[in-house]
């Protein structure tokens, strides 16, 4: 199959750079880009919630289990320990 694509100057420069740097043809660069994007889309869980749950950010907190409801109490205790004369 043949593909006819229009590229702006920026993407044309990037394509030429990749061809030169990796010693690849235009066809090989396109195949590699398609394979890479395909693999990325297959390996990631779908949906925002799944992405958040799978990330390092979610669940990265260490502390009391009731921290989200009693955070003011814990902040006050921390500040009282750190600055007893306040």
pLDDT in tens, 11-61: 999 999 999 999 999 999 999 999 999 988 886 555 677 777 777 665 556
Whole-prediction pTM: 0.50
**Does residue 1 belong to any structural domain of this protein?**
yes
Whether the pLDDT of residue 1 is over 80: the answer is yes
d(C-alpha 86, C-alpha 4), whole Å:
71
Which two tokens mark 34? 């398609």
Whole domain around residue 25: which residue ranges?
1-58
* CA 31 vs CA 6, 9, 34: distances in Å: 17, 21, 5
- Does residue 37 belong to any structural domain of this protein? yes
Is residue 67 domain-resident?
no
User: Within a 10 A sphere around the Cβ of 61, how many other Cβ atoms?
Assistant: 9
CATH number at residue 28: 1.10.1220
């Amino acid at each position: 199959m043949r593909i006819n694509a229009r590229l702006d100057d920026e993407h044309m420069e990037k394509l030429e750079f990749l061809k030169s740097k990796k010693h690849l043809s235009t066809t090989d660069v396109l195949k590699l880009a398609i394979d890479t994007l395909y693999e990325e889309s297959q390996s990631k869980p779908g949906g925002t919630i799944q992405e958040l749950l799978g990330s390092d950010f979610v669940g990265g907190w260490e502390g009391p289990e009731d921290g989200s409801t009693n955070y003011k109490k814990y902040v006050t205790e921390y500040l009282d320990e750190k600055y007893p004369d306040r």
